[in-house]
Homo-oligomer: A and B are copies of this chain.
């Protein structure tokens, strides 16, 4: 039983395909045109990535039968894929997720709402916030200790990084309060707006 390790791009693809069944071309456009501009968008990444996911049984592609237009292979999540996506999203946040600019963690969060619901988002944000605070403390200590001996531009670069984490920290507070508002609204309106909103 192989470990079946899925690269980040694979999860990005699964999350998008879960949101809305899509072709490779659709997905490339998402990466190229939306705020997901980090991530590849090159055909040499997307198509092999989709093939790997299909070979692993996480997505299934079916050829669309529309009159006109060239054939497009529409991918959608299989139950297995949905399960894998859930597992990935439900992983506890670790210190590691905070280090390398947290791209991984933010990707997870951006899909979390639809798949795991608001409660999981709140928990995630709380844990994330704690980790950010801890790392922020480390960075500030580092700067206090070494800042004076560093070339100006290097010190400024570190300060920029600290500012980035401070932004992240403040963002978690805003995000948490938005979730509290959303939950209050939902309680009042008695499920008038369900959770996911696939369309």
Chain A 16-73 interface residues, beta-carbon cutoff 8 Å to B: 34-35, 37-38
Q: Is A159 an interface residue (CB 8 A)?
A: yes
Q: How far is the CA of A112 from the CA of B154 in the complex (A)?
A: 8
Nearest chain B residue, comparing its CB with the CB of A158: B35
A111, B38: Cβ atoms closer than 8 Å: no
B156, A175: Cβ atoms closer than 8 Å: yes
Q: Is A171 an interface residue (CB 8 A)?
A: yes
B38, A151: Cβ atoms closer than 8 Å: no
B139, A35: Cβ atoms closer than 8 Å: yes
A196, B151: Cβ atoms closer than 8 Å: yes
Category for how many chain A residues contact B? 35 or more
Give how many copies assemble into the complex: 2
- What are 29 A-B interface contacts by the 8 Å CB criterion? A34-B146, A35-B139, A38-B99, A38-B101, A106-B157, A107-B157, A109-B156, A110-B151, A110-B158, A113-B151, A113-B153, A113-B154, A114-B154, A121-B153, A151-B196, A151-B197, A152-B182, A156-B171, A156-B175, A159-B171, A159-B174, A160-B168, A163-B168, A163-B170, A163-B171, A164-B164, A164-B168, A166-B167, A167-B167
- Residues of A in contact with B (beta carbons under 8 Å apart): 34-35, 37-38, 99-101, 103, 106-107, 109-114, 118, 121, 139, 142-143, 146, 151-154, 156-161, 163-164, 166-168, 170-171, 174-175, 178-179, 182, 196-197
